[in-house]
């Protein structure tokens, strides 16, 4: 009865260790994969980055390529179009400010990647590659020696008792090594808790610094909004009325030119030779520009004149 109970307990312990090992190994593998996806969401970019870094290692290059952060790409786009609009554009200047802030957030995201890798991913990867690998080795060795011991026990009487005893001792030795390695692994959970805390602290630092960047950016934008709101805005004038005024000005211009020509204007004067309406307008004829006009009105008049055949 005691022998049967001992055999049942051994099988239960072995089965529990195998099940625990499988669950732990799968859990760590998925945890590492999901953490990488959290930091680098785009699978195509991750694959390209891994390929480039592999090529760099083969070539002996120390510097590796970083993951293309979406914040940085958005910042580059904003800065580029902000410069195209120019400094005179309030929206263009604001785009440059926001783009620079996005670049800073991209740099902060790079720092987050580095911190999480150092404080969380690398320790877990080392745990999987060393401790769990060692436990797996002991469990496989234990399984082989258990099968050997069971086989020799069943052939008791045909196999020398010393050989059976040695097989049993080897089985017990492997079992003790496997249990000890698992015990130390479980007792070392405080290190795993520290690693998990490192992940949280890295994320907290990233969001705290990102909030500071966005708060400063918000102050800049509010200042730009106040400045733009305080600017004087000229009234809009319909182009149709400008064209009608222009047509009237053309008729008065031509009449005035005819009267000047009939009376004889001195040589060297602005009206010494007949000119077209466009030339008169470009020369700033006082007969046409009887009253001062705004920049917008000048632009509308010029556009209306040059658009005529």
Mean per-residue pLDDT over the chain, rounded:
76
SS3 label, residue 232? coil
Confidence band for 10, pLDDT divided at 50, 70 and 90: low
Residue 5 lies in a domain: no
Are 85 and 56 members of one domain? yes
* Range 184-208 burial, b when 16+ CB lie within 10 A, else e: ebeeeeeebeebeebbeebbeebee
Confidence band for 25, pLDDT divided at 50, 70 and 90: confident
Q: With 50 as the cut, is the pLDDT of residue 8 above it?
A: no
- 60 vs 297, more confident: 60
Are 178 and 302 members of one domain? no
Residue 234 lies in a domain: no
Task: Name, of 59-73, 157-171, 246-260, the range with top average pLDDT.
Answer: 157-171
Are 174 and 248 members of one domain? no
Confidence band for 9, pLDDT divided at 50, 70 and 90: very low
Beta pairing partners, 156: 159
- 8 vs 237, more confident: 237
Are 93 and 18 members of one domain? yes
- 26 vs 52, more confident: 26
Residue 222 lies in a domain: yes
Q: What local confidence, expressed as pLDDT, does residue 103 receive? A: 97
Are 172 and 245 members of one domain? no
Residue at a domain's end among 173, 203, 229? 229
- 243 vs 130, more confident: 130
What's the rounded Cα separation, in Å, for the pair 67 and 53? 11
What DSSP assignment string belongs to 36-78? HHHH---HHHHHHHHHHHHHHHHHT----PPP--HHHHHHHHH
Are 176 and 225 members of one domain? yes
Residue 76 lies in a domain: yes
> Based on the structure, what is the number of domains in the chain?
2
Q: With 90 as the cut, is the pLDDT of residue 94 above it?
A: yes
Residue 90 lies in a domain: yes
Q: CB-hemisphere CA count at 13 Å for 230?
A: 6
What's the rounded Cα separation, in Å, for the pair 186 and 198? 19
Task: Name, of 37-46, 166-175, 197-206, 282-291, the range with top average pLDDT.
Answer: 197-206
Are 208 and 290 members of one domain? no
Are 210 and 245 members of one domain? no
Q: Find the mean pLDDT for residues 257-279.
A: 43
Residue at a domain's end among 204, 229, 254? 229
For the entire predicted model, the pTM comes to 0.64
Are 287 and 217 members of one domain? no
Q: What local confidence, expressed as pLDDT, does residue 178 receive? A: 86
Q: Find the mean pLDDT for residues 187-200.
A: 91
Confidence band for 15, pLDDT divided at 50, 70 and 90: low
SS3 label, residue 267? coil
Residue 148 lies in a domain: yes
What is the domain extent for residue 171?
10-229
Task: Name, of 78-87, 168-177, 255-264, the range with top average pLDDT.
Answer: 78-87
Residue 139 lies in a domain: yes
Are 34 and 109 members of one domain? yes
Residue 3 lies in a domain: no
Are 75 and 178 members of one domain? yes
Q: What local confidence, expressed as pLDDT, does residue 135 receive? A: 86
- 289 vs 217, more confident: 217
38-70 residue pLDDT tens: 998 888 887 887 777 677 666 777 666 788 899
Q: Find the mean pLDDT for residues 174-181.
A: 87
Q: What local confidence, expressed as pLDDT, does residue 17 receive? A: 66
Q: What local confidence, expressed as pLDDT, does residue 271 receive? A: 36
Q: With 70 as the cut, is the pLDDT of residue 235 above it?
A: no
127-156 residue pLDDT tens: 888 888 888 888 888 889 888 988 888 888
Contact 195, 119 (CB under 8 A): yes
Are 194 and 287 members of one domain? no
């Amino acid at each position: 009865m005691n022998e049967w109970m001992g055999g049942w307990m051994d099988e239960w312990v072995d089965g529990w260790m195998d099940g625990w090992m499988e669950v732990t190994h799968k859990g760590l593998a998925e945890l590492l994969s999901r953490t990488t996806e959290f930091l680098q969401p785009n699978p195509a970019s991750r694959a390209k980055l891994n390929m480039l870094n592999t090529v760099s290692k083969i070539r002996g290059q120390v510097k590796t390529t970083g993951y293309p952060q979406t914040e940085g790409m958005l910042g580059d786009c904003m800065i580029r179009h902000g410069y195209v609009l120019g400094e005179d554009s309030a929206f263009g200047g604001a785009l440059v400010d926001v783009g620079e802030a996005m670049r800073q957030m991209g740099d902060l995201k790079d720092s987050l990647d580095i911190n999480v890798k150092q404080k969380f991913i690398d320790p877990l990867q080392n745990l999987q590659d060393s401790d769990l690998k060692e436990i797996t080795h002991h469990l496989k060795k234990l399984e082989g020696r258990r099968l050997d011991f069971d086989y020799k026990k069943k052939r008791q009487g045909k196999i020398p008792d010393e050989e059976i005893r040695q097989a049993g001792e080897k089985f017990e030795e492997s079992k003790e090594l496997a249990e000890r390695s698992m015990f130390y692994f479980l007792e070392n959970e405080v290190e795993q808790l520290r690693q998990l805390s490192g992940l949280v602290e890295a994320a907290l630092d990233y969001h705290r610094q990102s909030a500071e960047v966005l708060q400063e950016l918000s102050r800049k934008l509010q200042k730009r909004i106040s400045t733009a709101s305080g600017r004087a805005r000229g009234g809009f004038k319909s182009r149709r009325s400008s064209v009608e005024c222009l047509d009237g000005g053309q008729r008065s211009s031509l009449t005035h030119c005819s009267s000047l020509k009939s009376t004889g204007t001195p040589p060297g004067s602005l009206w010494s030779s007949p000119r077209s309406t466009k030339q008169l307008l470009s020369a700033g004829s006082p007969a046409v520009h009887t009253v001062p006009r705004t920049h917008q009105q000048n632009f509308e008049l010029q556009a209306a004149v040059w658009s005529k055949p």
